[in-house]
Amino acid sequence: MFDSSTIVVGLEVGTSKVCAVVGEVGPEGALNIVGLGQARSRGVRKGEIVDAGLAEEDIRRAIVEAEQMADVEIRSVFLGVTGGHLRGFNNRGVHPVVSADREITEDDVKDVVKNAKAINIPAQNHVVHAIRQHFCIDGQDGITDPVGMLGSKIEVEVHVVHGIVNRLQNPIRVIKGLQLDVDDIVFGGLASSLALLSNEQKELGSVVIDIGGGTTEYVVYANGIIKHTGVLALGGDHVSNDLAYGLKVPLSRAEQLKIEHGSALMDDSVKGQTLTLTSETGAMKIINLENLRRIMHLRLEEILQLIAQDLEQANVMDYLRGGVFLCGGGARIPQIANLAEQVLGLPVSVGKTQSMSGIKSALDQPEFATGIGLVKFGSFQQRKRTSKSGLSAGLKSTFGQIFRRS
Amino acid sequence: MSTEEFTGAAVGQDKPVEPVGASSPAAMPQEQALSSAPEAFPGVFVVGVGNAGVNLVDALIRQDFPASSCAVVNGDAPALGGSLAAHKIAMDKQGRGMGFGGDPERGRVGAESCQAQIAECCKERRSVVIVCGMGGGAGTGGAPLVARLAKAAGALVVCLPVMPFECEGALRGRIAESGLVDLRKEADLVLPFRNDRVVSSEAAVSVLDTFKSANEFIVCLLKCVVRAFTAGNVMGLPFSDICTLMHDRADLCLAAAAESAGAERAETVVARILCHPVFEHGSATLAEAETVAVNVVGGTTLGIAEINKIVDRVAQESASTPLVMGAAIHPEMGDRIAVMVLVDFRKGPQTEAPRMVSEQQARGSRMAEMPDMGPGSSRPPSRLVPPPPDLSQERLRQIHSQAGRGRKGAPRMRQVQLPLDIISRGRFDKSEPTILKGEDLDIPTYVRRGISLN
């Protein structure tokens, strides 16, 4: 039996699937994926639970599968959260260095970070992440570790991801119902980016776009730090729904058509082509392939355009030399990379999970990026926790207290 | 208007025109003199047939259309004499100067008697627009012949027949429909205008007002057609191509035209088009069509955004119907903008069926349908004036099918958007809508952008 401290579990309750990834953190901090469990998700829409009963069942199936595969007992998970209510923004904190010799101490750093986190968000919102960016000492920018440097004023920027607390609590409550603990909640897009990007790519400036079933998340890295995050409550479900509406077929059939005949780009080869479908009752239906592609193309193009607009507004377009990395089920759509290249004007590729060993089949799939990222996030936290009880432990206890059952 | 006022032997005389024979030699030199005059609408020639045709051509000339590019063909000598058109062709061989008593057969014979003159007028014209009133003698009988002659002369022939009011009687309606069938065989494109569409159910509206508004609509359409032929095409299909396209596909084609000027001209003109009497069933008519064609003609100030707005709006209304467009510039337009929307139906719009029983006749074989239309069988209400129950039933159906005629714009809007909203939410019915910048993103992108599927 493994010691539970070396096992890290990531759980993603997605719109199309629930996915539990079990990772084993080695003595040197190396991460090895040892188990994977997944189940079709039925109780989730747009990344948020709408039917707790079904969601609980699906989560249990995924967890059990992962437990069997990894041969471990799962006690706690790092939970991926998403949803249209999540917002990301940057906030700046300032702190004067008061010590006589003007040397910046750890306490100064703590204070400035605390100031930066004192943000003005609605009362019902909860901060999911407050990620430290670079420090700035007396106007000198780009300092990663200011301890021991001299200065009179220290500033820091944090990227804050926050969401509505009730909606964040819904999945936690369901997981508590399964007698599992939630170590921490992690923004799904952030987890995906951890799984996909190498340090070099973060330095160069990259975007990770996770096109999921119900939501599309994106995270922008520049100069090694998170510059911008965003969530659109749009995803593969919308494509299927559009097809079901436009082609007048049932949703399940639309889903199937999307997978079998879909593509992100319109090309001349489908002009005038048709498909003949036979329903269970034997009724024939002819579907125009060109229409299918057009509907799909327009929706995907729109999603990417919305992201492009947001990136444009956040003024991060010029930092992105590393390019765009796609993941999530949407990354499987043929030619999606070409479409994204057209829309964003950046080099685009489908992301590959980085620097991890383990089950090959799990690592190769773009859908599992979030799950793997969650494990990676967990392993970082685990390492931190051994040295000091930090922010994540505080978070855990906050949520733990609220939802502890009997 | 001295020498140009009369044709043939009547040249220079100041008494009412004397109807002339088929082979009047004097028609030739005058014709040549006229065609050499500079024209604002080169290549287009308008022929009015019958009394209604004469009236409409006069109305067109009053709106600065060159009289030299107009001809009137009629059997009624006084009406012919008073016309402003440069070419006047009298159809009556006997020279009695009377009408044809509403008999299309006599009208046809009358027109045949002056074939040569008509052919002469249509010679070397690129396009000929025929305007006539259907249901009478001259228009119904003469117009198909004029169309045939014009086509034989190598012109593209567009015909704007005006259909009679329903209260003019079933017989007249039948005659008009049969004339329409003949016309469709001869002309390249037939765009009938149903007078009934401008009938207001309000009692206060007088007959003259009704005529006036009908005339305004027809003259506007007529003007748009002649202008579309002569304007320099800048975008999309030229009007002649649209005509060909519509002719190839259509069993029934309807057209509506509107003009506007000023700051909001694109919005105004498209709003006018959409509440045009021809489209009184609103979006249903547009969405049921096989093809929708939009022709935009403006002056040199015509903006691409305006064209875009107009075409977008029409595309929205026409849902998934394929749409073709053409935009052109005509110097005569100034700061005005004119839009013409043509829709065609393979079998005629369904909503039309209960109201226009005789419509079937136009669609199918005339002979086969005739017995159905037999005396008093299918349309007694319009023949027998007094019986109130019958009439009210017909009326009821009519009113039902054209409910809210006075406020056409608003209910139509709701009708389109309501089902879309419900259906398209589909899977996301119970979840929170994804709204960004006021747009509900759960609705399919192609629907919101008004992109039509074929």
Name the average pLDDT for chain B.
72
Mean pLDDT computed over B430-440: 81
Angstrom distance (rounded) from CA B210 to CA A92: 72
Does B432 contact chain A (CB < 8 Å)?
Answer: yes
Please indicate whether residue B425 or residue B20 has the higher confidence score (pLDDT).
B425
Mean pLDDT computed over B162-182: 83
Q: What is the pLDDT of residues A243-270, one digit of tens each?
A: 998 888 889 999 999 999 999 998 888 8
pLDDT of residue A161: 92
Mean pLDDT computed over A181-198: 93
* Min Cα separation B128/chain A (Å): 37
In a domain? residue B330: no
Q: What is the pLDDT of residues A332-380, one digit of tens each?
A: 999 999 999 999 999 999 988 866 677 766 677 889 999 999 999 999 8
CA nearest B423 in A: which residue? A245
pLDDT of residue B361: 38
Q: What is the DSSP string of A280-346?
A: TT--EEEEEHHHHHHHHHHHHHHHHHHHHHHHHHTT-GGG--SEEEEESGGGGSTTHHHHHHHHH-S
pLDDT of residue B60: 87
Record the tokens describing residue A146, joined without a space: 């200011």
User: Using CB atoms and an 8 Å cut-off, which of residues 406-425 of chain B contact chain A?
Assistant: 423-424
Put simply, the answer to whether B442 touches A288 (Cβ < 8 Å) is no
* Min Cα separation A111/chain B (Å): 37
Does the pLDDT of residue B22 top 50, yes or no? no
pLDDT of residue B367: 39
Listed residue (A404, A373, A405, A387) closest to A33, CA to CA: A373
In a domain? residue B68: yes
pLDDT of residue A307: 95
Put simply, the answer to whether A245 touches B447 (Cβ < 8 Å) is yes
pLDDT of residue B196: 77
In a domain? residue B407: no
- Domain total of chain B: 2
Put simply, the answer to whether B453 touches A232 (Cβ < 8 Å) is no
Put simply, the answer to whether B445 touches A298 (Cβ < 8 Å) is yes
pLDDT of residue A388: 53
pLDDT of residue A263: 92
- From chain A, pick out residues whose CB is under 8 angstroms from the CB of B447: 245-246
Of A232, A241, A306, the CB nearest to B428: A241
Label residue B372 by pLDDT band (50, 70, 90). very low
Cα dihedral sign, B221-B222-B226-B227: negative
Q: What is the pLDDT of residues A105-157, one digit of tens each?
A: 899 888 998 888 888 888 898 889 889 888 999 988 888 888 889 999 999 99
Angstrom distance (rounded) from CA B279 to CA B375: 31
Put simply, the answer to whether B431 touches A50 (Cβ < 8 Å) is yes
Record the tokens describing residue A31, joined without a space: 């991460």
Angstrom distance (rounded) from CA B213 to CA B199: 9
In a domain? residue B326: no
* Min Cα separation A341/chain B (Å): 20
Which domains are assigned to chain A? 87-162 (3.30.1490.110), 198-353 (3.30.420.40)
A-B C-beta contacts closer than 8 Å: 74
Put simply, the answer to whether B432 touches A290 (Cβ < 8 Å) is no
Of B230, B248, B280, the position where a domain reaches its end is: B230
In a domain? residue B381: no
In a domain? residue B60: yes
Listed residue (A37, A32, A40) closest to A67, CA to CA: A37
Task: Return the CATH number at B16.
Answer: 3.40.50.1440
Partnered with residue A36 across adjacent β-strands are: A21
Does the pLDDT of residue A18 top 60, yes or no? yes
**CA angle, corner B287, sides to B283 and B288, nearest 5?**
120
Neighbours of A388 (CB within 10 A): 8
Q: Are B359 and B348 in contact (CB under 8 A)?
A: yes
Q: What is the pLDDT of residues B305-357, one digit of tens each?
A: 888 888 888 888 777 778 888 888 888 788 888 888 888 876 544 433 333 33
Q: What is the pLDDT of residues A77-101, one digit of tens each?
A: 999 999 999 999 899 999 998 888 8
Of B205, B230, B255, the position where a domain reaches its end is: B230
Does B454 contact chain A (CB < 8 Å)?
Answer: yes
Put simply, the answer to whether B426 touches A244 (Cβ < 8 Å) is yes
- Please state the ipTM of this predicted complex: 0.81
Listed residue (A120, A114, A224, A222) closest to A162, CA to CA: A120
pLDDT of residue B389: 47
Q: What is the pLDDT of residues A46-75, one digit of tens each?
A: 999 999 999 999 999 999 999 999 999 999
Q: What is the pLDDT of residues B214-257, one digit of tens each?
A: 888 888 888 888 888 888 888 888 888 888 777 766 667 888 88
pLDDT of residue A29: 75
Q: Residue A166 carries which side chain, given as an amino acid letter?
A: N
Q: What is the pLDDT of residues B91-142, one digit of tens each?
A: 765 555 566 777 788 888 888 888 888 888 888 888 889 998 888 888 888 8
In a domain? residue B433: yes
Does the pLDDT of residue A396 top 90, yes or no? no
pLDDT of residue B94: 57
Q: What is the pLDDT of residues A296-341, one digit of tens each?
A: 999 999 999 999 999 999 999 988 999 999 999 999 999 999 999 9
Please indicate whether residue A357 or residue B301 has the higher confidence score (pLDDT).
B301
Of B423, B430, B431, the CB nearest to A245: B423
- Of B445, B447, B449, B451, which to mutate for an interface test with A (greatest number of A Cβ within 10 Å)? B445
Mean pLDDT computed over B152-180: 85
| Range with the largest mean pLDDT of A211-215, B173-177, B323-327 | A211-215
> What would you report as the CA-atom Rg of chain B, rounded to the nearest whole angstrom?
23
In a domain? residue B210: yes
Put simply, the answer to whether B432 touches A306 (Cβ < 8 Å) is no
Please give the residue range of the domain that contains residue B443: 417-454
- Scanning A96-216, the segments in alpha helix (DSSP H) are 106-117, 165-177, 188-196, 199-204
CA B4 vs. chain centroid, Å, equals 28
CA nearest A44 in B: which residue? B431
Name the average pLDDT for chain A.
88
Q: Which residues of A have a CB under 8 Å from any CB of B?
A: 45-46, 48, 50, 84, 232-234, 237-238, 240-242, 244-246, 251, 288, 290-291, 294-295, 298-299, 301-302, 306
Of B188, B210, B230, the position where a domain reaches its end is: B230
Label residue A4 by pLDDT band (50, 70, 90). very low
